Structure 1
Amino acid sequence: MRNVVLVGHSGSGKTTLVEALLVATGTVQRAGRVEDGGTVTDFDEVEVRQQRSVNLAVAPIVHNGIKINLLDTPGYADFVGDLRAGLRAADAALFVISAAEGVDGLTRMLWDECAQVGMPRAVVITKIDHQRADFDDVVAACQDAFGDGVAPLYLPVTAGGSVTGLVGLLTEKHFDYATGTRVEREAGAGQRDQIDAYRGTLIEAIIQESEDESLMDRYLSGEEIDTKVLIEDLEKAVARGGFYPVLATCAVPGACAVVGMQELLEVITQGFPSPMEHPLPEITTIAGKPVPGLTCDPDGPLVAEVVKTTSDPYVGRISLVRVFSGTLRPDMVVHVSGHGLAERGHEDHDLDERIGALSSPLGKQQRTTTKCVAGDICAVAKLSRAETGDTLSDKDQPLLVTSWTMPEPLLPVAIRARSKADEDKLSQALGRLVAEDPTLRLENNPETHQLVLWCMGEAHADVLLDHLAGRHGVEVERIELRVPLRETFGGKAQGMGRNVKQTGGHGQYAICHVEVEPLPSGGGFEFVDKIVGGVVPRQFIPSVEKGVRAQMERGVLAGYPVVDIRVSLYDGKAHSVDSSDMAFQIAGQLALKEAAAKVPALLLEPVDELSVLVEDEYVGAVMSDLSSRRGRVLGTEPVGTGRTLVKAEVPQLEITRYAIDLRSMSHGTGTFHRSFLRYEPLPSHLADKHRSAAE
């Protein structure tokens, strides 16, 4: 068995490559669009309409008796959550690079991410028949981006402007696909120069990774190393993650539809490790104690992880599960352990559930299976509580797989239901979306009273709203995001609150005099009792404070909470019959409002601390952009090789769409983190705008 994730930028040809492998192994009869307008792996209604992958999809194939689970991931940065899920479920990665477009920044970042966990990798160059394609240039770009150990195993052969075959650099064989089938023959004399240009470098790279230390000396002394020995060392180096072969493919439907498929399948089955050879993720008890000695053993204790959750309007919830240890069977009772994303609206779990039907997924097809053994991937129906990232284990021996790193959603999108009927269904529909997508954070802001979806980007937001409408029948509309401002006093002022009403029967009587003065930023609220002589009875002094606090919550200028003031109650009057708690609360409110009318009231805006990590070439553009957002750049510091961390303080009003803008500036390679810092006065021209909007 092999579990292989396909990684690459959008449009690099991952889905087309998966379909070509499905055809090459006889899993499906033909590639291309299916009846509903999608492909075998792109079947979601959004994928069909936009003709791009937005979900993780599984396509199992069999080659030479080995089952290969191909994990097709989205190539757009907004859907990095599904990509990370694919990396967790896989034991090796195929980096798919378009010969026409080369290597982008996001692909380089993902390569580094795989390197950190030691994941074996290979590079597949697609679209080698494209008119802009230059195989030598794209190989050089891969070596520059990915470092040492990247070398081609085969070179493309062209005739009449079309790719007709490959030449193996180790075997020196010509694999001719011109007739539509693979024909093996000796390399021709005209191909010798090209072979000689690459073969020596390839052999040296393999020998450098060999466990036989004498091999390099023998090679340098002029000895011809046996091809079989080189291939064996190559396979071991690939499985260890020390060597990264480059393969050329042409998977576009047409005359060259099969070029490179057999060669790629050989690398996957002979070079990539099986699940038994790949280390398991860190596994602990529920209490966090490490569990040593677990292996990928079908007879071991059950440890599985939900790597993807989807909702089908007819079938219900479907969980894509990778089994790391033990065997999963239908109707088993398993323990579901939570994943620690409660701050994003994903509740932690610690409960038992019964497994429903098991199936082997091929796109949206679900083929029933009787078990899922360690190392395999399956779909589980009707797990009503388990969410993406949860662990399934034996109910008598609950365990927890350490969760993989999830990026922070940084694009806020405010929404509201389009109708009362939609409002009634919205809560349940959002709960399902949150269960499916761990990169989504749901916020019901208590200050602005807005429902906010924190997304990875604009495309992510569009897909979420599309799913609300298409899958769950809930129509919502976007509204302008409100940033929670604050109000404060621009100077010292006095105010009187007079609440005197005599209308027959029990009236109201309360008069209070207060003095309000501003406190330094972050000073909060102070209430000072300066009453002497009992002019305001002791029992009503807390009532005045309560009224002041209530008015502070409602604001005195534009409807935003008042902060950083000291209110001193220094005089007042009461009535023996008509004074009451409520009367003095109202008087306190009126006193604060009158004081506010005598001095300038200031609007305060929240300021965040931003840490922006970008490649060195984009530092200047990022710093200039932050300054244009009324930001203060605090400094920079190098991080690793070729990357810089820029620190700045920027008003929240200026960064509501920064996730989109930074991606554009840095060509998808920049990331940032934000945290609240303090409130500062809003510039007068912006304050006037907000004040007018509130009137």
Structure 2
Amino acid sequence: MGSKQSVPGVQAAPAPTDPATIRNVVLVGPSGAGKTTLVEALLTATGTIPRNGSVVEGTTVCDHDSAAIEQQRSVALSAAPVRHDDHKINLIDTPGYADFVGELRAGLRAADAALFVVAAAEGVDAATRAIWHECAQVDMPRAVVLSRLDQHRADPDTALESCREAFGAGVLPLHLPLRGADGTFTGLMGVLTGTTSGTGSPRERERERAELIEAIIAESEDESLMDRYVAGERIEEATLIRDLETAVSRGGLHPVLPVCAATELGLPELLDGLIRGFPSPLEHPAPEFTDPRGRGPRRLDPDPAGPLAAEVVHTSVDSYVGRVSLARVFSGTLLPERAVHVSGHGMAERGHPDHDEDERVAHLYSPLGSGLREVSRCVAGDLCALTKLGSAETGDTLSDPAAPLLLSPWPMPEPLLPIAVVAHNRSDEEALARNLNRLIAADPSLRLEKDSETHQLVLWCMGEAHADVVLQRLREGGAEVDTEPVRVALRQTFGQAAKGHGKHVKQSGGHGQYAVCDIEVEPAPRGTGVEFADRVVGGAIPKQFITSVEKGVRAQVERGLEDGVPLVDLKVTLVDGKAHSVDSSDAAFQTAGALALRAAAEQAGLVTLEPMDAVAVFIPDEHLGVVLGDLSSRRGKVVGTEPDEAGWTVVRAHVPSSELVRYSINIRSLSSGSATFTRHFERYDPMPT
């Protein structure tokens, strides 16, 4: 295969100059709903790719094993532009697996509207409901495509009712499917116009038409329309179509279009709907930004002549051209052969430190999957690809070096599945470190942690499929890696109060060592740490050596007494001791203090403590019972339940951290993929014996 700087058989098109002619649409839906197939059908229908092959990841299917390509494309965000009616539509395809919600969030950030793809034979799953809710929270305009009408179980009417039940009453058909004599779907009828395309028997549409008109009029800026409609006056179809976009943009209407990618049924209507029903970048607010001079947060207008503000929404590494950054331009115009300022807002806890660099953009490309076609510019509202920006990571801002800006980051979910990795042998350590840096730069949903206590290198992933892809990419980068069980850092404390005697006396000729101390140790309340007190009287231990005893005790606490497990929650009191005028020293009393603590521990016995996490599980009510039972089986203590919204409950519990290592996988299985949870450290509790 040749360089990916061009795609064979793909039409080149001039870059748009007016944001009003651009539509950025993210395709959302579960795996198997037909998102990628729909994108390829639209690319073919508009002449963007030839009919004898599909462009995926920058190649034609005949260039690679198609099964491998399907696997690759299903877990990564990709963008493909199509041209229709003098408009450019950027189709942003997102993974259908819940583990790759980071890619989904990036797609939502890059888009101005969301197209939910629902298979007509399947209906709406719980994960798609959750994404719809997420889009509603950020006022993302939404529409629905009922796909795969060629499947033998396809039932668009039932699927429509499933969508209305899941998404609300604003979900209304814009076209109705028509059946041919053989029972297959062969045509469409417009709900507003009554016109048909293809073949098939016309159907009753008055109820659907009335509902659609009322939804459009309710959001119209012309307040007289409702009075005219109620009075029985006929509203012109041109007026209704004009106000359709307003209704969609305001979130009061979510049009439904039946489409069959295999037969191309509904593709022209879908393209028309994307242009007429979805907002342009001019009508969708840009994210807030700040600048180093302290002004902000404020928003930028999508003006090609405004200050440059773009964001890297996806990063990939290509074997031919290196790092490829997919960027959404929110303001200004990106031009080739110009310098840009690359700034990261910093997610140090995930391995993304702050950075500010000036880099030079060599060329700009219009992406098609990961195929690249060179363009002359990228204006506000458009998407483009840049290559070889060495410091740019997903989520970074690109701006004018003379006036740097920083866009507010989009919310990223917390990765909750830990995977401990280790280089297979010493020769793999350098490749492992190099590839980890690449992965972290490309995937902000991934967190890298070097545990200072267990000394494990832990990758926090979104789920099992995400972890599998991460490990695969590490190995493809030349690093042989192994996984090992994730270890949980434990603590120990005293089981009861005890006394300890520490004596460190050595006489080996010359200057000796002499230190004796007596301590009392008692358990302290959870979370109080280690307290040291001095009750020495009569100068039995000189003051300068009292601090030495404390140093020795605290050093032994940190080192631990069994298997390197640190001690916590103790009150240590120094009550007596002896010193020598010549042989006593700081080092001797440190050693005596450590010995005294060890002696006290032998009397008291040690209690092993395990970390407990506060967990909040967001669960549909129908799965509440099984989740409560599962938490109980994990030694969890439920501390409360509360309603979150209609049909959902929040369960709050305290659960041992060791029982949560694979909880992200288990809770998804228990809830059919609908539940989510959060966790944070709460305290240490005694482990059961």
* TM-score, shorter chain, exceeding 0.5: yes
Among 237, 241, 244, which residue is 1:234 paired with? Answer: 244
| Structure 1 match to 2:150 | 129
SS of aligned partner of 1:568: strand
* 1:171 aligns to 2:171 (yes or no): no
Distance in 2 of aligned mates of 1:363 and 1:431: 23
Which structure has more relative contact order (CA 8 Å, sep 6+)? It is 2
Distance in 1 of aligned mates of 2:275 and 2:58: 32
Among 310, 315, 333, which residue is 1:309 paired with? Answer: 315
SS of aligned partner of 1:598: helix
State the AA in 2 paired with 1:192: R
**Residues 531 and 200 of structure 1: CA distance in aligned 2, closer, same or farther (over 3 Å):** closer
SS of aligned partner of 1:192: coil
Any conservation in 2 of the 1:417–1:477 contact (CA below 8 Å)? yes
**Residues 675 and 530 of structure 1: CA distance in aligned 2, closer, same or farther (over 3 Å):** same
Matches within 5 A, 1:287-686: 289-290=295-296, 294-470=300-476, 472-504=477-509, 506-684=511-689
* 1:95 aligns to 2:105 (yes or no): no
**Gapped runs of 5+ residues in structure 1?**
178-187, 685-695
Distance in 1 of aligned mates of 2:602 and 2:176: 80
1:14-36 per-position Cα deviation (integer Å, ceiling 9, x unaligned) = 10100000100111113766699
Any conservation in 2 of the 1:19–1:31 contact (CA below 8 Å)? no
- % same residue: 60
**Residues 236 and 37 of structure 1: CA distance in aligned 2, closer, same or farther (over 3 Å):** closer
| Structure 2 match to 1:24 | 45
SS of aligned partner of 2:261: coil
Deviation of 1:318 (Å) = 1.6
| Structure 2 match to 1:692 | none
Deviation of 1:546 (Å) = 2.0
Deviation of 1:399 (Å) = 1.8
Any conservation in 2 of the 1:408–1:456 contact (CA below 8 Å)? yes
**Residues 56 and 576 of structure 1: CA distance in aligned 2, closer, same or farther (over 3 Å):** same
Distance in 2 of aligned mates of 1:583 and 1:394: 62
1:245-288 per-position Cα deviation (integer Å, ceiling 9, x unaligned) = 11111113xxx2x1111110010122212222322222332355
SS of aligned partner of 1:94: strand
Distance in 1 of aligned mates of 2:56 and 2:227: 59
Among 250, 255, 270, which residue is 1:245 paired with? Answer: 255
Any conservation in 1 of the 2:59–2:371 contact (CA below 8 Å)? no
Deviation of 1:293 (Å) = 7.2
State the AA in 2 paired with 1:122: A
**Gapped runs of 5+ residues in structure 2?**
1-21
Any conservation in 1 of the 2:611–2:684 contact (CA below 8 Å)? yes
State the AA in 2 paired with 1:229: T
State the AA in 2 paired with 1:423: E
**Residues 529 and 292 of structure 1: CA distance in aligned 2, closer, same or farther (over 3 Å):** closer
Among 91, 94, 97, which residue is 1:73 paired with? Answer: 94
State the AA in 2 paired with 1:232: R
| Structure 2 match to 1:688 | none
Distance in 1 of aligned mates of 2:56 and 2:104: 27
Any conservation in 1 of the 2:518–2:575 contact (CA below 8 Å)? yes
Any conservation in 2 of the 1:356–1:383 contact (CA below 8 Å)? no
| Structure 1 match to 2:214 | 204
State the AA in 2 paired with 1:654: E
1:511-537 per-position Cα deviation (integer Å, ceiling 9, x unaligned) = 333322211212211223333454444
* 1:278 aligns to 2:278 (yes or no): no
Deviation of 1:172 (Å) = 2.0
SS of aligned partner of 2:336: coil
Q: Which moved more, 1:135-144 or 1:626-635?
A: 626-635
| Cα-Cα RMSD | 2.7
State the AA in 1 paired with 2:486: L
Any conservation in 1 of the 2:557–2:567 contact (CA below 8 Å)? yes
Q: Tell me how many residue pairs correspond in the alignment.
A: 667
1:611-646 per-position Cα deviation (integer Å, ceiling 9, x unaligned) = 222223223332222222222212122223332222
Any conservation in 1 of the 2:500–2:518 contact (CA below 8 Å)? yes
State the AA in 1 paired with 2:133: D
**Residues 37 and 213 of structure 1: CA distance in aligned 2, closer, same or farther (over 3 Å):** closer
State the AA in 2 paired with 1:529: D
| Structure 1 match to 2:25 | 4
User: Could you state the TM-score of these two structures normalised by the residue count of structure 2?
Assistant: 0.91
Any conservation in 2 of the 1:415–1:450 contact (CA below 8 Å)? yes
Any conservation in 2 of the 1:605–1:680 contact (CA below 8 Å)? yes
Deviation of 1:604 (Å) = 0.8
SS of aligned partner of 2:544: helix
